[in-house]
Structure 1
């Protein structure tokens, strides 16, 4: 099993589509055998699902995530645990213990201040929020 966590300064980063780093954990027999922080810079807003798949990730813990990204992850078989927050390592330990606190209905449906806009997407669709992640 390989678990990825959206990662910033030891914490679960709260916006999948803007994630610059993932911490990827290798798990065997229910225990973390090793982990590493991997930069996703340059992967692009719509390429993060493929970035994770290339690294054989099968599970993702994250904060907010849009509908398009949810669909992309589901299509490639990555199990999603959105709405998590706090310490990344503690979230992985909680998942392995069957005690992860997350919100399966967490959706990023609005633009965050700071210049993110749909003009950055080349999908040609009017996306009213982060659901343009695909």
Structure 2
């Protein structure tokens, strides 16, 4: 199984579409991490880039993320990548908690107004 996490250093980034890079972890059948790689996303918002197709090509089946817009959720799910939102903290801790069943999808969807990544259309 391969798990991807939007990352900023060694922590899960709070927003899928604006992360520094994606950490992709390969787990064996015993759920041990056997490989780790990073993928730098193209510039721009994640749902409007080719990052989802890149993750699919790499065999990712789970996305553990802090938050993301509905466009990204739709693209990931349409490509058979399970989305788990509401994750935060060090990458290895988040993966361990998810594997232990302690993290469930919080169904948090960013509207790009409150997350600070895009200005509100009403902003002066």
**TM-score, length-scaled by structure 1:** 0.76
Q: Deviations over 1:12-68 (max 9, x none)?
A: 101111123011000111111121222113476312222211211110000111111
The reply to whether residue 8 of structure 1 matches residue 8 of structure 2 is: yes
Counterpart of 1:67 in structure 2 is 70
Q: Is the 8 A contact 2:18 2:44 kept in 1?
A: no
User: Does the aligned pair in 2 maintain the 1:27–1:34 contact within 8 Å?
Assistant: yes
- What's the RMSD between the two structures over aligned residues? 2.3
Q: Judging changes above 3 Å, is the alpha-carbon distance between structure 1 residues 63 and 81 closer, same or farther for their aligned structure 2 residues?
A: same
- Asked if residue 19 in structure 1 is aligned to residue 15 in structure 2, the reply is no
Larger displacement relative to structure 2 (57-66 or 39-48): 39-48
CA contact (8 A) 1:43 1:51 kept: no
Q: Displaced runs of 4+ in structure 1, greater than 4 A?
A: none
Q: For this pair of structures, how many residues does the alignment match?
A: 118
SS at match of 2:93: helix
Q: Which residue does 2:107 correspond to in 1?
A: 105
Q: How do 1:25-44 residues align onto structure 2 when only pairs under 5 Å count?
A: 25-29=25-29, 30-42=31-43
> TM-score, structure 2 length as denominator?
0.82
- Which ranges of structure 2 fall in alignment gaps of 5 or more residues? none
Q: When you count strand as a share of all residues, which structure comes out higher?
A: 2
